[in-house]
Structure 1
């Protein structure tokens, strides 16, 4: 009876959270932490924790589809994981290999138009895993409705270091003028995979750190971060919806801050800068409380603007 009541309450809470969500992130990155700790807690072999975690990953893909999220990046195997004992690495490689083939052959993946890519120093992985990567990428290459990036042998510092070395080599050969290096130049040297910046990083397992994950795509975009206590196999749809809600609240706060800064600019800037300040105000004015909107309207219509735009 208690389990039935709990299930019904969970269902009601999920519906409530979904109603509170309006326009979530487009790209979510997930650090799936706590598989081994979950297994130890349950008195199981660590491999069982990874297998149950893989089931959570499959559920996550369905949740993303329900909410219209367009891109998901999963931290499956870091460069630091190579330091684990050989038997632990073998278990992870077995699971990654199996899931890549499963995803590549899944009707659900093909119906949803999911494109699978691996990002990282994949050349360091066992041949059998590399073959599974090649198979999954080839089977889904023509899709673009949803992008699934799987970070394998991935390290954020290694990615940036590799990009810097490539740029330095081109400059040294005379093939690249340092003065022309811009954001796009750097992005072209990063691992192929993510098609857009990260909006939200989710980490399970209780640790509040992003562990060198996607520093260019996440930190550069000031991505929101959501840390939660459940181990990855215990991560539920409710936890996912809470993360999305946290992201939206952060975005609302960010928009209000931008609007208030623009209002300050209208009062302080010169005529030459006024047009930009007004454009920011118009873009974010709906984010301000009604008591501030009247002040914004007056500022737009009268301050520094006797002749209009």
Structure 2
């Protein structure tokens, strides 16, 4: 009876959350933590936890597509994970091979045009895993409606270090001028294919840290972060929707901050900067509480760029 009531309550909560959500992040990155702890709590071993977690991964992929997420990155195996017992890793590698090939052949993957990509130091993995990665990438290479990145043998700082070394080598060889180095210069050297900026990081299992995950694309984009206590195999759709809601609140807060800053600075800007500031106010006016919104004609900008009328007080 208690289980039925809990399921009923969870279903109602999911519907409430679904109604509260009006949009979705473009790129969600997930740290799937807690598989081993989940298994131990149930009296099993690590491979049982990893298999249970793989089922959650399949559900999350569907949930992302349902709400309009376009890219999902899963932190499946870090470079630090090589330090775990060999027998545990070998079983995990077998599971990765199985799931990569299963995903690559799944009808829903081809129907939804899901492109599967692996990011990380793939050459560090056993040959059978490398072959499974190659198979999945080749089978889905023509798809980009939805992108599924699987981070394997991944370390965020090591990727940045390698990119920096590549740039330094090209500068030293005279192939690249220092003043030509920009954001795109680094991004082209991080991964074989473009990765969108991360909008939301989700971490399960109770730890509140991002563990060196996609630092360039997440921290540089000031991604929203959602930490939750369920272990990865227990992660529910309600938890997922709570993460999306966290992203939306973060976006709303960011828009309000931009609008308030623009309003506060309008009176102090030079004539040449006023049109740009006015455009910021116009873009984010609706993000402000009703009482803070300036009227549309409150800050008209003349043809010469001068502000017509009195500036609003802070």
TM-score of the aligned structures, taking structure 2 as reference length: 0.95
In the alignment, the residues of structure 1 paired with residue 64 and residue 194 of structure 2 have an alpha-carbon distance, to the nearest angstrom, of: 16
Aligned positions of 1:189-228 closer than 5 A: 189-228=189-228
**Secondary structure of 2:240's aligned partner:** helix
Kept in 1: contact 2:204–2:232 (CA 8 A): yes
Q: Tell me which residue corresponds to 2:147.
A: 147
Is residue 2:193 matched to residue 1:185? no
Map of 1:252 onto structure 2: 252
Correspondence 1:23-172 to 2 at 5 A: 23-172=23-172
The 10-residue stretch of structure 1 (44-53 or 83-92) with the greater mean CA deviation from structure 2: 83-92
Report the Cα offset of residue 261 of structure 1: 0.3
Would the aligned equivalents of 2:110 and 2:140 in 1 still touch at CA under 8 Å? yes
The C-alpha deviation readout for 1:180-200, integer Å capped at 9, x for no partner, is: 000111111102245310000
Q: Given that residues 115 and 145 in structure 1 are in contact (C-alpha distance below 8 angstroms), is that contact kept between their aligned partners in structure 2?
A: yes
**Contact 1:267–1:299 (8 Å) recurs in 2:** no
Unpaired segments ≥5 residues, structure 2? 310-314
Answer yes or no: is the 8 Å Cα contact 2:274–2:301 preserved in 1: no
**Conserved? CA contact 2:285–2:294, under 8 Å:** no
What is the match of residue 293 of structure 1? 293
Which whole-Å CA distance do the structure 2 matches of 1:167 and 1:293 have between them?
46
Deviation, 1:3, is: 2.2
The separation in 1 between residues aligned to 2:296 and 2:254, in whole angstroms, is 17
Deviation at 1:89, TM superposition (A): 1.2
- Of 301, 305, 308, the residue aligned with 2:307 is 305
Tell me by how many angstroms 1:5 deviates.
Answer: 2.3
Task: Supply the distance in 2 between the matched residues of 1:136 and 1:43 (Cα, whole angstroms).
Answer: 33
Task: Tell me what 2:266 maps to.
Answer: 266
Counterpart of 1:72 in 2: which secondary structure? Answer: strand
Is contact 1:93–1:129 with CA below 8 Å preserved after alignment?
yes
**Superposition pairs for residues 13-32 of structure 1, below 5 Å?**
13-32=13-32
SS in 1 for 2:294: helix
RMSD, aligned α-carbons: 1.6
Q: Does the 8 Å CA contact 1:149/1:193 hold for their aligned counterparts?
A: no
Cα separation, partners in 2 of 1:289 and 1:300, compared to 1, 3 Å: farther
Q: Deviations 1:257-303 (Å, cap 9, x if unpaired)? A: 00000001112212121111101101101101111113675244699
| 1:266–1:300 CA contact under 8 A, matched in 2 | no
Q: TM-score scaled to structure 1, two decimals?
A: 0.96
* Conservation of the 8 A alpha-carbon contact between 2:187 and 2:194: no
